[in-house]
Amino acid sequence: MEDSMASEMDMGPIRPQNFLFACELKAAKEFKFNPDENGSEHQLSLRTVCVDGSTKDELHVVEVEGLNAEGEQIKATLAALKPSVHPTVSLGGFEITPPVVFRLKKGSGPIHISGQHLVALDNDMSSDEDNEDEEEMEDYKTAIKRPANVQATKTIQPPQKTPTKGAPKENGKQSKPSTPAQKQEPKTPDGKGKQGPKPKTPKSPKGPMSISAIKEKMQSTFKGGSLPKVETKFENFVKNCFKVEDQKIIQDLWKWRQTLVEKK
């Protein structure tokens, strides 16, 4: 058992990749989803089932067929739609493992099903991408620690005078060195002397960076060219570099990152 656990740790974590999934159902036409086996694990995360603009105003029943925990084929009703009453159904991330078959049990369609196709890549298949991600992360951390256009300033010290052994004589007599006047401590408005430095008020800790500040930092450092191009890599990149845990902020930054790819 210890050997199997050690081998799993050596292989590293499985990296998921997200792809868009969509299919259209019509009467007497079913849709089969069974990706080719290539060493990766596949899974569907269904989001919505909705009617089309040309769908007739009648009851449409969507059926799904797949495998249960015992490996047996079972059928289940996924959604019941009617354009004038219930045109769409939100499945909220209903996950199912292929092979899967979708069909219209009742109605003529067309009916649209959309969601995400999740592909889990093994560590060996994504080793090159891991190395690329680590290099991008190290470059970004180095760029943050080393601000640009900063020059070291040198302190210019005035030349020091060599003290003479004796003061000059006046009329044959040696003059006495003048005693410097003693500095008087500044008085406060109440007439009392200075009581010493006041305790400093501790500064309040800085809050997390705003979305606009993060975008500006990314643009000034990478100019949109070397930011992660995959959503999962970009999410890890934002969490590690900017300490952002809010999924809504990460999603907003990912949408903004996609616009940079389109403009490039």
Q: What is the pLDDT of residues 40-57, one digit of tens each?
A: 788 899 999 999 999 999
Residue whose token pair is 């006041």: 198
In CATH, the number for domain 211-262 is 1.10.10.2100
Fold (topology level) of 17-120: Jelly Rolls (2.60.120)
Q: What angle do CA 80, 83, 85 make, to 5 degrees?
A: 75
Residue whose token pair is 């036409």: 29
| H/E run at residue 104 | strand 100-106
From first to last of its 264 residues, what are the pLDDT tens digits of the chain? 455 555 544 555 556 788 999 999 998 889 999 887 666 788 899 999 999 999 999 999 999 999 998 889 999 999 999 999 999 999 988 899 989 999 999 999 899 999 999 988 765 555 555 666 677 777 766 666 655 554 544 555 555 666 555 555 555 555 555 555 565 655 555 555 555 566 665 554 455 678 888 888 887 776 555 778 788 888 888 888 888 888 888 888 888 888 875 444
Residue 140 CB contacts under 8 Å (≥ 6 apart), including other chains: 221, 222, 237, 241
What are the CB-based long-range contacts (under 8 Å, 24+) for 219-223?
Answer: 221/140, 221/143, 221/144, 222/140
Query: What does residue 101 show for φ and ψ, rounded to 5 degrees?
Result: -130, 130
Q: What is the pLDDT of residues 214-223, one digit of tens each?
A: 888 887 776 5
| H/E run at residue 118 | strand 111-121
Instruction: Identify the bridge partners of residue 22 per DSSP, sorted by sequence position.
Output: 114
Instruction: Give the domain ranges of the chain.
Output: 17-120, 211-262
- For the entire predicted model, the pTM comes to 0.43
Q: How far from 247 is each of 127, 231, 235, 243, CA to CA, in Å? A: 26, 12, 9, 12
